[in-house]
Structure 1
Amino acid sequence: MTQTSADIATLSFEEALRQLEHIVQALEQGNVPLEKSIEMYERGAQLRAHCDRLLKQAEEKVEKIQLGGDGRAAGTTPLDPES
């Protein structure tokens, strides 16, 4: 947990999620001093926001494959989360 909030932006989704899970586990155990708990909570909030941003970016990149009459991919369209 020595990384700064600026370093969070460089984390992959998987690493950010791993760190967030570690923070949650430590806080759930309840044996972390109050000041350290506050620091961990703040970092967890930053990690969650980073994961949310990465998921949104990935969602925007996902495309549906349209199949042509012969069953082959005929093109793509942007993902429509409502359908």
Structure 2
Amino acid sequence: MSENAKVDVSGYSFEKAVAELESIVARLERGDVALDDSIAIYERGEALKKHCEALLSAAESRIEKIRLDRAAKPQGTEPLDGQ
């Protein structure tokens, strides 16, 4: 595995992780990467994908919808999915 593939992505912002993931996809689609390097960057892409999914899941859990009373005045919040 290349040194680049070993770099921890846990501190990456969502935007940085997506940008690097897009770069990896473009390199793999071009097909000009050696097999060993392809495997290494694919593994890095998997790590980036999992990190993005975790960030999205955390963001979704923070989204709340506002509850309104009969007069349409805000009365508090509740989870977006109603749980």
Q: Judge same fold: TM > 0.5, yes or no.
A: yes
After the TM superposition, list the runs of 4 or more consecutive aligned residues in structure 1 that deviate by more than 4 angstroms: none
CA contact (8 A) 1:65 1:76 kept: yes
For 1:17 and 1:63, locate their aligned partners in 2 and report how far apart those are by CA, in whole Å.
25
Q: How many Å apart are 1:54 and its aligned residue?
A: 0.6
Unaligned runs of 5+ in 2: none
Unaligned runs of 5+ in 1: none
TM-score w.r.t. the length of structure 2 is 0.85
1:50 partner amino acid: H
TM-score w.r.t. the length of structure 1 is 0.85
Determine which structure has greater relative contact order: mean sequence separation of CA pairs < 8 Å that are 6+ residues apart, divided by chain length.
2
Q: How many Å apart are 1:4 and its aligned residue?
A: 3.4
Question: Match of 1:4?
Answer: 6
Identity within the alignment, %: 43
CA contact (8 A) 2:66 2:77 kept: yes
Q: How many Å apart are 1:3 and its aligned residue?
A: 6.7
For 1:17 and 1:81, locate their aligned partners in 2 and report how far apart those are by CA, in whole Å.
29
